[in-house]
Amino acid sequence: MKWLLAALLALLAVSLLIGDATLALPDAPILWQIRLPRSLLALLVGGGLGLSGAVLQGGLRNPLADPGLLGITGTAGLGAVIAFYWGLAQLFAPALPAGGLLGAGIGAGLLLAFAGRAPSGPSLILAGVAVSAIAASLLALALTLAPNPFALAEITFWLMGGLADRSLLHVALAAPPILLGAAILLRLGPGLDALSLGEDTAASLGVPVARTLRLAAAGTALAVGAGTAVAGAIGFIGLVVPHLLRPWLGERPGALLAAAPLAGAALLLAADMLVRLAPLVLPLSAAPPVGVLTALLGAPFLVAIARKAAP
């Protein structure tokens, strides 16, 4: 845990020194207006993804659960795209993240409504699949109706997830919901521990199963929805983080909760730095979105997990 924190602080320091394809001590305005917001967002978004992944895998007793499973990533992206499509984002920059937050909120409402009054693991997953499907189809509709090819390219690029060109305003918008979500999720440890023996046993141990799952979904919606609203859909961090921590901290779900946000933050920060340095070593004209890298590295990891889990 101390190691993780030290690694995170070291990454943060290096991250402030690395620019888009440059390695130098920056001027004060660049530091404050470009690198600091970018690094802070990586911490917040990565931390939210890592923590949500650990909570969902524990709550659903499924090592393949990912925050994206609940569909909130989809509705947050849709909200941002709608704000973009109507030209609100061009008139008023914060409309994009605000649209994403609104989308995340509506998605969370739909999710909890679909999951029913007493959600269980399967009903929550089913609700997530339904919300994802709705978000995906409406997103496709928005893309078909895109006003011009330029907007279509912008939307597609944004949806891949990235931390470039964000300001302290984005940090201020995303931080409260992400921190509130994290506060909710961090308290679920004993309930998740009990759920590892199944919902019946957890209930017999006095754990309010439906309430625990609802809080897990709501906390994830806050943390991941707000993250998506400012940074687009960044995949695989939430899936991978718990798997990285288990060999080290053991498999008790509650034991992962404190470390998961630190690991998620460190992972996204590191991925973002790699992305910024990529044009130095690869023939790229610009830094690719960080979501591309996390998916590229996360997908083989997913296969490795599935192979290991299969008998």
Partner 1 sequence: MIGLSHATLALGGHVVLHDVGFAAGAGELVALCGPNGAGKSTLLRALAGLLPGTPGRDPRRVAYLPQGARCAWGLTVEQVAALGRIPHRDRVAAPVTNALELCGILGLRAARVDRISGGEARRAMLARAFATEPEVFLLDEPTADLDPAASHAVMRLLRATADAGRTVVVVLHALDLALRYAHRVVVLAEGRVAADLPASQALPAAAAAFGLPFGPDPEPRLLPPG
| Residue 22 found at the interface with partner 1 (CB under 8 A) | no
**Minimum CB distance to partner 1, residue 246 (Å):** 8
| Residue 163 found at the interface with partner 1 (CB under 8 A) | no
| Residue 306 found at the interface with partner 1 (CB under 8 A) | no
- Nearest to partner 1 of 185, 209 (CB atom): 209
| Residue 253 found at the interface with partner 1 (CB under 8 A) | yes
Looking at 197, 286, 296, 303, which residue binds partner 1 (CB under 8 A)? 197
| Residue 186 found at the interface with partner 1 (CB under 8 A) | no
Backbone angles phi, psi at 31, to 5 degrees: -60, -50
* Torsional sign, CA 299, 260, 232, 74: positive
Looking at 26, 94, 109, 190, which residue binds partner 1 (CB under 8 A)? 190
| Residue 203 found at the interface with partner 1 (CB under 8 A) | yes
**Minimum CB distance to partner 1, residue 260 (Å):** 14
| Residue 193 found at the interface with partner 1 (CB under 8 A) | yes
- Best CA proximity match to 216, nearest among 232, 199, 240: 199
**Minimum CB distance to partner 1, residue 99 (Å):** 37
- Nearest to partner 1 of 122, 250 (CB atom): 250
133 token code pair: 């499907």
**Using CA atoms, how far apart are residues 158 and 234, in angstroms rounded to an integer?**
11
**What residues numbered 205-234 form the site for partner 1, per CB under 8 A?**
205-207
**What residues numbered 53-92 form the site for partner 1, per CB under 8 A?**
58, 61
| Residue 200 found at the interface with partner 1 (CB under 8 A) | yes
- Best CA proximity match to 158, nearest among 273, 81, 270: 81
**Using CA atoms, how far apart are residues 153 and 267, in angstroms rounded to an integer?**
27
**Minimum CB distance to partner 1, residue 155 (Å):** 39
Looking at 21, 94, 160, 252, which residue binds partner 1 (CB under 8 A)? 252
- Nearest to partner 1 of 243, 276 (CB atom): 243
Q: Where along the sequence are the contacts to partner 1 (CB under 8 A)?
A: 58, 61, 190, 193-198, 200-201, 203-207, 246, 250-253
